[in-house]
Amino acid sequence: MNFTFLGTGTSHGIPMIGCSCGVCRSTNPKNKRRRCSLYVVAAGKHLIFDTPPDFREQVLTYGVARVDAVFITHPHADHIFGFDDVRRFSTLQEQHIPVYGSPETIAKMHRKFDYVDKGYNFESVPRVRFTEQTEPVFVGDARITPLPVSHGPDSIYGFLIEAEGKRLAYIPDCNGIPPETLALMKTPDAVILDGLRPSPHPTHFTTDQCAEQLKKIGAKQSFITHITHNWDHRELQTYLGDAVTVPWDGLHIEL
């Protein structure tokens, strides 16, 4: 299994529009953060987790040439508003692509992208099969399990990807992990978890809360994501030490 961070930033992206702080003006490419998305190759299958507004630029920049399935954590704009560009993959592959999410998420995908269900020609819309997911599904030999977590008042999904003896947990938006979800993860090879900023937020873990949860999960490799402009990359890595890796857009990891 391997994975690539297509985006590691918060909903605004970094640099933020109209901001002249040191991070937004930084020349360090690791401070340029597109909205959160992850590309995973597991047991030969190519999986996308969320399609943010930057999705087209992300897949072009990092060479994503195929998509076998899409998994949506929740239907907020910063996680789905690049969805239309899935149509290029369905056109190239000449097939419908399964799109998985919670029943609530899939219902909203039907409403927000209602044209997908209409009878346009094959190249005009994403050819997908919206599928409600409440239990593990297989894409080839890769097993993907939904991980229910709290995102403020909403219950949304992270995902556990298992293939070829490796286990990866991806939870980009979260401010609470129930015991049942922690039990599902057990001890993964890698975990990627929301750690928005130093100060409290009503729907996201703070940096310190993220680090605390990552320690509790005890993965072999731990990563923070969904990072705001409150943190410079080097400063955040120094603050977290060796126990947690601060990723950057384009970071590729082999498990």
Domain residue extents for the chain? 2-15+24-248
- What pLDDT score was predicted for residue 122? 72
Residue pair 177/187 in contact (Cβ under 8 Å)? The answer is: no
**Identity of residue 75:** P
**Percentage of residues of the chain with pLDDT beyond 90:** 96
- What pLDDT score was predicted for residue 88? 96
- What pLDDT score was predicted for residue 120? 74
Neighbours of 77 (CB within 10 A): 12
Longest Cα–Cα distance of the chain, Å, equals 53
pLDDT at 168 over 80: yes
Could you tell me the pLDDT band of residue 118, with boundaries at 50, 70 and 90?
A: confident
Give the model confidence (pLDDT) of 38-74 as tens digits. Answer: 999 999 999 999 999 999 999 999 999 999 999 999 9
Provide CB contacts within 8 A for 33, sequence distance 6+.
7, 8, 9, 10, 13, 14, 227, 248, 249
Query: How far is residue 234's CA from residue 232's CA, in Å, rounded to a whole number?
Result: 6
Query: How far is residue 119's CA from residue 122's CA, in Å, rounded to a whole number?
Result: 9
- Token pair for residue 43? 């047991």
Point out the least confidently predicted range of 20-29, 116-125, 229-238: 116-125
Instruction: Give the strand pairing for 142-151 and 137-139.
Output: antiparallel
CATH superfamily of 2-15+24-248: Ribonuclease Z/Hydroxyacylglutathione hydrolase-like (3.60.15.10)
pLDDT at 186 over 90: no
pLDDT at 121 over 80: no
Taking CB atoms within 8 Å and a gap of at least 24, the contacts of 15-23 are: 15/229, 16/229, 19/229, 21/229, 22/232, 23/229, 23/230, 23/231, 23/232
Query: How far is residue 237's CA from residue 218's CA, in Å, rounded to a whole number?
Result: 18
Residue pair 67/89 in contact (Cβ under 8 Å)? The answer is: yes
Instruction: Share the mean pLDDT of the chain.
Output: 97
Average pLDDT over residues 212-216: 97
* Closest-CA residue to 169 (of 44, 76, 241, 177): 177
CA distances from 36 to 47, 114, 120, 178, 194 (A): 14, 24, 30, 22, 10
Could you tell me the pLDDT band of residue 193, with boundaries at 50, 70 and 90?
A: very high
Average pLDDT over residues 161-186: 97
Give the model confidence (pLDDT) of 73-101 as tens digits. Answer: 999 999 999 999 999 999 999 999 999 99
Give the model confidence (pLDDT) of 127-147 as tens digits. Answer: 999 999 999 999 999 999 999
- What pLDDT score was predicted for residue 129? 96
